[in-house]
Structure 1
Amino acid sequence: MPRLLLLEGNTAEKRALGAKIGVRSSSQIYAEAISTHFPDLEMDTINGADEDWAFPEGRGFGDYDGMVITGSSLHAYDSEFAVTNQIELTARAGETGMPIFGSCWGLQIAVMAAGGQVEYSPMGREVGIARKITPTDEGRGHPIFSLKNRSFDAPCIHYDEVTRLPDSATLLASNPHSKVQAALVPVGKSTVWAVQYHPEFDLQQLVQLYRLYEDAMITEGFFVDKDSMHAYVRKLDRLIAAPDDMGLRWQLGIDDDILDDRTRNGEIIAWLESEVL
């Protein structure tokens, strides 16, 4: 059976903090999403943000059939080891020609590895649900969106975005917040399928993020106060428990784009079926 490598984007400190408050690591979220559709796939994780990172059991890139670059709270334009090492690892993986998929942080460091540019978004944070993501002409003809509608919503959280794609890249989708919501990014001998949003996230992860970034949600104007945010999160909790509740779907503006596992995870499924399996 094929074996995947998951490049965890967060530092040991961030992973420990998340575990303490019950937030899954980026690689755990990906492993769970992939296992839902491909239970027999084998997966290993490397913690590329850590100075003592290592392949498990002496393996190397050549022992894997594909690599997934997960999310991270880091900034792709910073010069600290936790960032530059992951860009270097992505470049090294690309030299093997292996299939690579990335979301959010994965898109950004692939772009950096290929000579593009990432900056703080002038629109500020996009959080919770990225609305009205629309494939370009190239995107509509690409298998990455084979399980998606012509325009769709997706889970997200980011405050940085790609401001310049490498010349060799292909823009696949945009929305009103960020021009680059999906792209094909050649890195070495590989072409990274990458998206700015998080197709691996479920609603429970969004609830955890709202609670984790509660103060920022208010200071950045997403909610007027904690009571309004808590009321919104309670509705999300109710929708998780009753995903067919049409009233909650309507009130929250959430439908099968988010609630159906196969639709939400569609880009990951398409990559695995087209590039890995």
Structure 2
Amino acid sequence: MVHLLVADGNDRAGRARHLTVCDRTSAETYAGILRTLAPDAVCHLVAPADADAVLPLALAECDALVLTGSTLHVAEGGPAVTRQCELVRAALLAGLPVFGSCWGVQVAATIAGGRAGRNPRGPEYGLARAIRRSAAGAGHPLLDGRPPAWDAPAIHDDAVIDPPPGSRVLAGNDRLDVQAIEIRLGEGVFWGTQYHPELDLDEVAAMLRLSATGVVEAGLCRDEAALHAYADALRDLHGDPEGRPDLAWRLGITDEVLVPERRRREIKNFLDRLVRPRRAHG
């Protein structure tokens, strides 16, 4: 049995807003995927942004920590950010494997001495396109199974601007140099992606609706009606991926995004290549 601590990156307001468009929180989404990929996993959920949050079990009893996305901004600081930074730092110093997407990457990079903030090249909304391995990413187990270039779900304004000293940037694209990264702190290892391997297309659609103003302001849609039409198409493609090749063609979405096993490769690689070996060797 594998015990996974799943930390929701949102504060209470962020979780409530998320639930207006989704039927589950970000942590619940991750937990469901982790149980699918590792049927022997027991997921323990926590919301470390909250002042009254209590870990459901001690870090020493965990096999790994997973940190979700968030609407918070690391650069703005504040108690909700600091508490999450402290949890990730403690987990890494305790020797735990840690995985994070989007917000998780930004937190891990910050505590290790890097810098996260608004991406000067602009946001990515919907999909990060044409991601490619760096030289350091060639052969790295986090990216096992990925083709030479791939797309992935992405929703972010912020990103890792300056990677921490000693980290390994594993992948990037023309919008962002740090799309995947390995960070070591103490005895712990962090693997993460700025993109969201955990998100199904219906959840991407929901996140776009929450970000409608930002998408329009970035010039990616002419108006909110166009944004909602795009989100509708993503939702419909999710509902019938095999029966709507017209939508996949129109949206430029390939099997790396459509097929769950391919979209979630990084999460499975984390479990198989970091978490299970560590547990096996006690």
Are 2:69 and 1:71 aligned?
A: yes
Aligned residue identity for 2:210: L
Are 2:108 and 1:85 aligned?
A: no
Q: Deviations over 1:5-56 (max 9, x none)?
A: 0111100122123224435322112112222222331010121101111012
Equivalences for 1:10-89 in 2 at 5 Å? 10-22=10-22, 24-56=24-56, 59-89=57-87
Question: Match of 1:255?
Answer: 254
| Alpha-carbon distance, 1:233 to partner | 2.3
Q: Deviations over 1:197-216 (max 9, x none)?
A: 11111101111012222232
Are 2:163 and 1:165 aligned?
A: yes
Find 1:147's aligned residue among 145, 148, 161: 145
User: What is the TM-score with the length of structure 1 in the denominator?
Assistant: 0.95
Equivalences for 1:123-272 in 2 at 5 Å? 123-244=121-242, 245-272=244-271
| Alpha-carbon distance, 1:166 to partner | 1.4
* 8 Å Cα contact 1:140/1:150 also seen in 2: no
Q: Secondary structure at the match of 2:74?
A: coil
Deviates more, 1:19-28 or 1:218-227: 19-28
Aligned residue identity for 2:40: D
How many residues get paired? 275
Q: In 1, distance between residues paired with 2:215 and 2:237? A: 20
Question: Match of 2:280?
Answer: none
Q: Secondary structure at the match of 1:186?
A: strand
Q: Secondary structure at the match of 1:209?
A: helix
Q: In 1, distance between residues paired with 2:259 and 2:180? A: 20
Aligned residue identity for 2:17: L
| Alpha-carbon distance, 1:161 to partner | 1.2
Q: Secondary structure at the match of 1:138?
A: coil
Q: Deviations over 1:120-153 (max 9, x none)?
A: 1112221110001101122121111112111100
Cα RMSD, aligned residues only:
1.4
Q: In 1, distance between residues paired with 2:109 and 2:155? A: 18
Q: Secondary structure at the match of 2:175?
A: coil
Q: In 2, distance between residues paired with 1:54 and 1:110? A: 21
Q: Secondary structure at the match of 1:168?
A: coil
Aligned residue identity for 2:175: H
Specify every segment of 5 or more residues in structure 1 that has no aligned partner in the other structure, as ranges: none
Q: In 1, distance between residues paired with 2:263 and 2:191? A: 16
* 8 Å Cα contact 1:91/1:188 also seen in 2: no
Q: In 2, distance between residues paired with 1:77 and 1:23? A: 29
